[in-house]
Amino acid sequence: MKVLLEVAILISLNLFLFGYVQRKMAILIIAQRNQLIVLQRSVKKPKLKEQDRLLWMFLARIWADWKEHLIIVKPETVIRWHRRTFKDYWRKLSKPKNKVGRPRIIKEHIEFIRRISTDHPNYSGRHIAGMLKELFGVEHAPSTVDRYRTKLPRPPLGNQQWSTFLKNHASVIWSFDFCVQPTLFFSQFYILIIMELESRRIVYLAVTMHPTLEWLKQQIRNATWDGQPRFLIHDNDAKFGQLGKPIAAKLKGKSVSCRSSLDVWLVKTMQIQGLSTPYHAPNANAFCERLIGTLRRECLDHMLFLNERHLTRVLREYQVFYNHERYHQGIKRIPVPAKDIEKSRNLAGRGKLVSKPVLNGLHHSYRLAA
């Protein structure tokens, strides 16, 4: 009886310990699965190494329930790994030991071909191949000679490129564009910026809440009071009166294409040819776009404006600083240097550096004083 009691106690203890261990393992599995799920939510695509792929391909062969415990990738992915490895293995076995394709000719012949083609770039591969055969007894296919001969330089385009046009006519080209600036009281103002391409100077600035075509025409009249360009670059904004289909207009006896009502007015009234940039091509007016970005970074983004008068006053002050004080990397100089800069240069090495705040210290104007 005592022995049976001891056996019963031992069996009960073993069952208790087995249940405790099983419960502990179940809790551990739940905790690990939760962590894997959280990791899967935060990492869209886990980074697996080749040994990780090989491990799961091996488990898929020997473990029947591997799909139920796979979390980091889908089971179809493991099957795809296996098929790809199988395909790579047999491709490697069937790969020829010797190199395929046309063998490389000797270095001396390559030098002959390059020397002749450099001296005579207009000679074709067939022509050089015939020369080699007749003069040196070396026979190569024309296609082989084409591989090694010096290639002809790319021929120039038949028409002038846009960048070349801008470079050649920069002194007679102006460009303009609009940018939007909100105020402290949520009013929205449009800033018109007109610049000269050669000097990069700001020719004219104007602010309005309603940028109509008539208002723009008046601002162009104001900007061209002292002088006017030959070309005026702008985008295809709807407020310019898009015509849909270009029409021809006469400018100094020459027919020019006009794509908007603004272009027609520029030709007939101001004797200026308007150049509309292509659609979705801001790089065609890159200089003005760059100027607007500079204006925002160096001025507009640092201030809160109360009204139109406040915005105009700040823009006028920045225009003077930009034209006469600010160094421009594109042209490696100041657009229109101030008159006293030459005097400051003469004091180099013996003058005292002084500064004058611009826009309440947002920028500074530096000089050398005696």
pLDDT in tens, 228-282: 999 999 998 888 988 888 889 888 888 998 999 999 999 999 999 999 998 888 8
Model pTM score: 0.59
Q: What is the pLDDT of residue 198?
A: 93
For residues 91-117, give the mean pLDDT: 78
Q: What tokens appear for 255 in the block? A: 């027919």
237-244 contact pairs (CB < 8 A, 24+)? 237/178, 239/211, 239/212, 239/213, 240/213, 240/216, 241/213
Q: Using an 8 Å Cβ cutoff, are 344 and 365 in contact?
A: no
Q: What is the CA radius of gyration of the chain?
A: 39
pLDDT in tens, 1-24: 555 565 556 556 555 555 555 666
Share of the chain above pLDDT 70, in %: 83
Q: What is the pLDDT of residue 151?
A: 76
Cα–Cα distance for residue pair 195/133, rounded to 1 Å: 63
Q: Using an 8 Å Cβ cutoff, are 275 and 287 in contact?
A: no
Q: What is the pLDDT of residue 289?
A: 93
pLDDT in tens, 48-79: 788 778 887 887 888 777 777 777 778 888 88
